[in-house]
Amino acid sequence: MSLKILNSRHSIVNHENDLQPKDSLTQFYCRVADTPPHLMTVQQLKALVENLDWSDSLLNLVKKNTLFKPDRVGLKNLLGNEFISILVVASLPQQRSIIHRHGQSLEVAIVLQGTLTSQFFKMSDEQELKLDREVEISAGGILSTERYEYHSIINKSSSKVVSLHFHSPGLIE
């Protein structure tokens, strides 16, 4: 199977930041751990993700941990502790996650392959979740989800989708 994930020559961040040195995964982790998880903002987490060095070694780690499942969205945990969780999420055409939220965790996801749709929901006065908005993100794009926000991810396309999801504080079972 050939997985066509963005390679290191593709730009994932704004060109304004291209002259700044990028962070390795280890440096990224240290920067995340410098901020108490309850004080981390979605903008801070997004900036840290945007500054990751998308070297071939990081992309190969993602490729090795990508698992497409025939009956549901595939999830593989790359890193998980009290500060950060990093998950590879792989979906076949027309697959979707359940509507869920991550409690006190922020989420920043970067689409590495394909186009991902995220639906966000609000609780109605009748205590029903109602669709609030829908966002479509293509390869290289970043999606943010606030604490306690209900959402679902969907692959509405006819191609496979791979995304990398960062949660702070980390999702601990």
Q: What is the pLDDT of residues 40-84, one digit of tens each?
A: 999 999 999 999 998 888 899 999 999 999 999 999 999 889 999
Q: Chain-wide mean pLDDT for the chain?
A: 89
Q: Check: CB of residue 167 under 8 Å from CB of residue 75.
A: no
Q: Tokens 């939220």, residue?
A: 101
Give the max Cα distance, the chain. 51
Nearest to 41 by CA among 164, 163, 168: 168
Is 51 strand, coil or helix? coil
Give mean pLDDT, residues 163-171: 95
Token pair recorded at residue 101: 């939220």
Token pair recorded at residue 155: 């692959």
Band (106; pLDDT cuts 50, 70, 90): very high
d(CA 10, CA 160): 19
Give mean pLDDT, residues 86-104: 97
d(CA 95, CA 118): 12
pLDDT of residue 8: 40
Residue 44 burial (10 A CB sphere; 0-12, 13-18, 19+): middle
d(CA 77, CA 88): 6
Q: Whole-model pTM above 0.85?
A: yes
| Measured torsion, CA atoms of residues 39, 45, 47, 50, in degrees rounded to the nearest 10 | 170
pLDDT at 139 > cutoff 50: yes
pLDDT of residue 6: 54
pLDDT at 4 > cutoff 80: no
Give mean pLDDT, residues 14-25: 67
Give mean pLDDT, residues 34-44: 95
